[in-house]
Amino acid sequence: MSEILYWQALNQALDAELAADDAVFTLGEDVGLYGGTYRVSEGLMAKYGEWRVRDTPISENSFTGLGVGAAMLGLRPVVEIMTINFALFAMDSIVNMAAKIPFMSGGQFPMPLTIRMPGGIARQLGAQHSQRLESMFLSVPGLRIAVPSTPQDAYWQLRQAIRSDDPVIVLEHELLYFSKGEMDTHASAPPLHQALIRRRGRDLTCISYSRMLPLALEAAQALHAEGIEMEVIDLRSLSPIDWSTCVESVQRTHRCLIVEEDCRFGGVGGELAAELQERCFYSLDAPIQRVAGLDIPTPFNAKLEAASIPRQGDILQAARAVLNLVPGESS
């Protein structure tokens, strides 16, 4: 057991899979000589050579398409898209090819393709570089989406994604790369798409993922001081979603709060709320509440940027509201 940074966990996972299987290679902008925008591929080009750690031109659709073709031929490519915002250039390769070829070929062509991409609001990168686009990929059948929130999960889930025969998007948050956490490379890994209860509670269930998870845990600790025990679930996966873990928790606490960084309208939280309302209707003692980002392009101004996404105070207010402790609704 050791404490390491999130990016270091990803680096170790990629290193381990490159060492274990000659069919694994990684490609993308600056992954080789530079070592990756967030250092994830640092040192790997020197260790495995430029054929397996390949720098590419600035052409996301082209090198993602190359990854699709390589996967069809039996290799296990790990495509790094520098930021989820640039994935918009690769949508044809991701949506029309990676997600559909296994189905349209009757299973003759598996798709052992991993696509890594950071997303979320970082620090004043502007509206075009601060998007949360997971809901776009969520609606594409055939894609799997992992959202690790801790170094341990970053290590586990990247290795599991690379070994999978399905196309897996590993969605990393830009502000998590330099977060620290414990990692045990010898621990048994939970299934790639299993949700985990990060904190037990009896009064309400909070469901979150990615960078909002640490905020939810901080809010749960603050509520504990008020005598409120909030259970916190880390989804870890957006496609598929582990409904059984979520349903069991909500049926036990009878209240549900969903926290996400993405915009409220059309976001992941809306799908979660709709499905849980159907499955848990007779167990709920209050309407499901959502805390989400504002439905605006992300401002560049630091104070406005911070105000456009959930903060701990927003989660506390929404939790008290779902418990009918204060009037009002979640943000």
**CATH number corresponding to 196-322:** 3.40.50.920
Which one is catalytic: 129, 218, 254, 271? 129
pTM for the model stands at 0.94
Q: What is the dihedral of CA 184, 186, 192, 194, to 10 degrees?
A: -70
Q: Are 144 and 167 in contact (CB under 8 A)?
A: yes
pLDDT tens digit sequence for 22-56: 999 999 999 999 999 999 999 999 999 999 999 99
Q: How many CB atoms lie within 10 A of CB 275?
A: 14
Q: Is the pLDDT of residue 82 over 70?
A: yes
pLDDT score recorded for residue 331: 40
Q: pLDDT band for position 326 (50/70/90)? A: low
Whole-angstrom distance, CA of residue 233 vs CA of residue 197: 4
The length of the chain is 331
Which pLDDT tens digit goes with each residue over 121-157?
998 999 999 999 999 999 999 999 999 999 999 999 9
Domains 2-183 and 196-322 belong to one CATH topology: yes
Catalytic: which of 60, 172, 260, 261?
60
Average pLDDT over residues 245-264: 97
Fold held by 2-183 = Rossmann fold (3.40.50)
SS3 labels along 58-122: CCHHHHHHHHHHHHHCCCEEEEECCCHHHHHHHHHHHHHHHCCHHHHCCCCCCCCCEEEEEECCC
Q: Which of residues 185 and 98 earns the better pLDDT score? A: 98
pLDDT bucket at 80, cuts 50 / 70 / 90: very high
328 pLDDT higher than 50:
no
60 is catalytic: yes
For the chain, give every domain's residue range. Answer: 2-183, 196-322
